[in-house]
Chains A and B, each alone.
Chain A
Amino acid sequence: MTQLSIAMPTQRSAPQAAPNSRRWRSITIHPLLYVGLGLAVFLAPIPVSQAAGFWTTSGKVTGTGQAVVATGQDPAEVRGWMTIQMILDAYAVPQAELYAAFGIPSDTPAFATLSSLETVAPGFSTASLRTWLADRKAR
C-alpha cells in the first residue's frame, strides 16, 4: 500500500453536517460484514415463516403443505388454477347451466382450468364466476 503525502486545502466545503458530532460516532463496517448482514436479514424470515407454516408460493397448497381444494362453502375460494370439474363437484352445478351462463363452448373439456376459459369465453372471468356462484347460492 503506497503512502502519499498530499497538501490539503485549508478550507473544505461541507454541504452536509457529519453525523459524528460530539454525541455521535461512526464505526466502519467491512463490506463482507455488510453483505452478511444484508443477506441474513433478508433471508432469515423465510425459514422462520416456513417453520411457522406461513410460507406458500402457490395457491394450490396451504402453508402446512396441504392441497387447497374447492369446498363449495365460499365462492371467494375459487381460483384461476381450479378446473371446471372442481367447481361442478364442489358447488353441485350442472355443467350445462355453467356453460350456458358464460357462453362456454360445449366442447370445452371439464378438466380445463378456469383461467384458460377467459380466452374461449369472452364473458368469463374467475371474478365473475365467484359472483355468479354467490348469487346462485343465495337463491
Chain B
Amino acid sequence: MTASTLPIVRRPRSWGLRVQRGRHVLQLGFVALVAYVAAQRLIFPEDSGVLTPSGEALCPFGGFESFYKWVTSGGTFIPHTHAANLVLAASIVLVAVAARGFFCGWICPFGALQEGIAALSHGLQRRFPLLRRGIRALERRLAPVAFLDHWLRYLKYAVMVWAIGGAALFGVMVFRDVDPWSALVNVTELEAVGGLVVLGVAVAASFFVERPWCRYACPLGAVQGILGRIGPLAIERASNACLSCNVCSANCPVNIPVHAVTRVTSPDCIGCLQCVGACPSEGGLGLKLALPGARPTIARPVLLGALLPK
C-alpha cells in the first residue's frame, strides 16, 4: 500500500437503517403519548370533573415563556403553563448541552409529524412519476430564490425573542395564538384558529420541504441551537476516511453541508444521524465527544470547548 492509498472499510447500509428504525420507533412512542393526552382531553373535557393533564403542560417551550414570571412573581406561572413546563424546559437545557439537537430529531412529536408528511411525499413521488416531475419543475422554478433558505433560518430566533420577551413583558403567551403545538394538542377544541392555520401551512409545506417549521420558525429549536453550541458532542467527519461522495449532505433533512465541514456545529443540526447512517465509509462520519487531550488545561474545560476558538 502506498502513502496515497488508505483502506476504506465499507459500512453496511443496514446499519444506518437500523439506527433510523430505532429513531422512528422512539418518535412514534412520543407521538402516541401526545395523542393519548389529546384524546383524554377529548373524552374528559374541562367541565367533566375528571382531572386530565393539559397537553400544553407538556410543551418545554412554555417553561421558557413562563420562567421570567415564575422568578419575578415568586412561583406563579403565566396562563396555560404549569410546573411541568418549567421541568421540561430544564430538560431541554440539559439535553441541548449534552446531546445538541437530540430532542428535535428523536423526541419532538411535531418534528415526527413533519417527517411523516415528507416520507409520504417521497413515497407518492416514487409511485407517481408525474408528481415527482411536477415537484422537480417547481424546485427548478424556485431555484433563483433558494438563497432565501439561508436567511429565513434566522426567523426562528426572532420568533424566540418575540415569544419569550412578549411573555415576560405582558405576562401572557403572546405566541399561543399562532403556536401550532398548542393547536395540535387542543385540535379537538378548535381554540387557536391562528395556530391551526400555521399547523396546516407547516404540514402542507412538509410535502415539499423537509421540516419547514424546524428550519424557519421553531423557537424551541432556536433555544437548543444556541445552547448546543457549548456541548462537547457533535458529528465529525474524518477527512482521511471520507469518500467525498456527498451522500451525508444529500441525506441531511435540514440541508447542512456535512461534506464540507469536519465538525457539524450548525445550530440547525437535529442529531437525527441520517448523515452518519448514510455514510458508506465505516470511519467517515461519527458522533464524537471532544475531550481535552494529553495536556488538558484548566482554562479550557470540556463544556466550554466549543465556545473557544479552535
- A8-B5, A31-B19, A57-B84 known; A1-B12 Cβ under 8 A: yes
With CB as the reference atom, state the residue of chain B lying closest to A12.
B239
Asked whether A57 lies within 8 Å of B260 as measured between CB atoms, the reply is no
Asked whether B5 lies within 8 Å of A6 as measured between CB atoms, the reply is yes
- A23-B295, A34-B99, A41-B91 known; A28-B288 Cβ under 8 A: yes
Interface residues of A in 1-21 (CB under 8 A from B): 1-8, 10, 12, 14-21
**Is B192 part of the binding interface, using a Cβ–Cβ cutoff of 8 Å?**
no
Asked whether B10 lies within 8 Å of A1 as measured between CB atoms, the reply is yes
How many Å from the CB of B283 to the closest CB on chain A? 9
- A5-B8, A27-B288, A57-B82 known; A46-B91 Cβ under 8 A: yes
**Is B39 part of the binding interface, using a Cβ–Cβ cutoff of 8 Å?**
no
Asked whether A23 lies within 8 Å of B84 as measured between CB atoms, the reply is no
Interface of B is mostly: mixed
**Is A22 part of the binding interface, using a Cβ–Cβ cutoff of 8 Å?**
yes
**Is A105 part of the binding interface, using a Cβ–Cβ cutoff of 8 Å?**
no
Interface residues of A in 100-139 (CB under 8 A from B): 111-113, 115-116, 126
Asked whether B296 lies within 8 Å of A57 as measured between CB atoms, the reply is no
**Is B240 part of the binding interface, using a Cβ–Cβ cutoff of 8 Å?**
yes
How many Å from the CB of A67 to the closest CB on chain B? 9
Residues in B neighbouring A18, C-beta threshold 8 A: 236, 239, 262-263, 310
**Is A38 part of the binding interface, using a Cβ–Cβ cutoff of 8 Å?**
yes
**Is B289 part of the binding interface, using a Cβ–Cβ cutoff of 8 Å?**
yes
Q: Roughly how many angstroms separate A15 CA and B264 CA in the complex, as a whole number?
A: 12
Q: Roughly how many angstroms separate A58 CA and B261 CA in the complex, as a whole number?
A: 45
Stretch of B52-60, B117-125, B247-255 on the interface side: B52-60
Q: Roughly how many angstroms separate A22 CA and B4 CA in the complex, as a whole number?
A: 24
For B6, B23, B297, the residue with the greatest tally of chain A CB atoms inside 10 Å of its CB is B6
Q: How many A-B residue pairs have CB under 8 A?
A: 195
By size class, the interface of chain A is 35 or more
Asked whether A41 lies within 8 Å of B83 as measured between CB atoms, the reply is no
Asked whether A34 lies within 8 Å of B287 as measured between CB atoms, the reply is yes
**Is B144 part of the binding interface, using a Cβ–Cβ cutoff of 8 Å?**
no
Asked whether B261 lies within 8 Å of A31 as measured between CB atoms, the reply is no
Asked whether B99 lies within 8 Å of A41 as measured between CB atoms, the reply is yes
Interface residues of B in 57-115 (CB under 8 A from A): 57-58, 76, 79, 82-84, 86-88, 90-92, 94-95, 98-99, 102-103, 106-107
User: Which of B9, B57, B84 is within 8 Å of A3, CB to CB?
Assistant: B9
Asked whether B91 lies within 8 Å of A45 as measured between CB atoms, the reply is yes
Asked whether B286 lies within 8 Å of A28 as measured between CB atoms, the reply is yes
How many Å from the CB of B24 to the closest CB on chain A? 12
- A38-B99, A112-B47, A116-B47 known; A58-B287 Cβ under 8 A: no
How many Å from the CB of B166 to the closest CB on chain A? 16
Asked whether B293 lies within 8 Å of A22 as measured between CB atoms, the reply is yes
Asked whether A29 lies within 8 Å of B289 as measured between CB atoms, the reply is yes
Q: Roughly how many angstroms separate A86 CA and B142 CA in the complex, as a whole number?
A: 58
**Is A49 part of the binding interface, using a Cβ–Cβ cutoff of 8 Å?**
yes
Residues in B neighbouring A10, C-beta threshold 8 A: 4
How many Å from the CB of B13 to the closest CB on chain A? 12
For A22, A26, A76, A81, the residue with the greatest tally of chain B CB atoms inside 10 Å of its CB is A26
Asked whether B286 lies within 8 Å of A19 as measured between CB atoms, the reply is no
**Is A93 part of the binding interface, using a Cβ–Cβ cutoff of 8 Å?**
no
Residues in B neighbouring A113, C-beta threshold 8 A: 46-47
Asked whether B90 lies within 8 Å of A45 as measured between CB atoms, the reply is yes
Asked whether B94 lies within 8 Å of A41 as measured between CB atoms, the reply is yes
**Is B298 part of the binding interface, using a Cβ–Cβ cutoff of 8 Å?**
no
- A18-B263, A23-B293 known; A37-B83 Cβ under 8 A: no
Q: Roughly how many angstroms separate A41 CA and B180 CA in the complex, as a whole number?
A: 26
How many Å from the CB of B126 to the closest CB on chain A? 27
Using a CB–CB cutoff of 8 Å, the interface residues on chain B facing chain A are 1, 4-12, 19, 22-23, 26, 46-47, 51-54, 57-58, 76, 79, 82-84, 86-88, 90-92, 94-95, 98-99, 102-103, 106-107, 233-234, 236, 239-240, 242-243, 260-263, 271, 273, 276, 282, 286-297, 300, 305, 310
The 8 closest A-B pairs by CB, nearest first: A57-B53, A38-B102, A26-B288, A57-B57, A38-B99, A29-B287, A2-B10, A49-B87
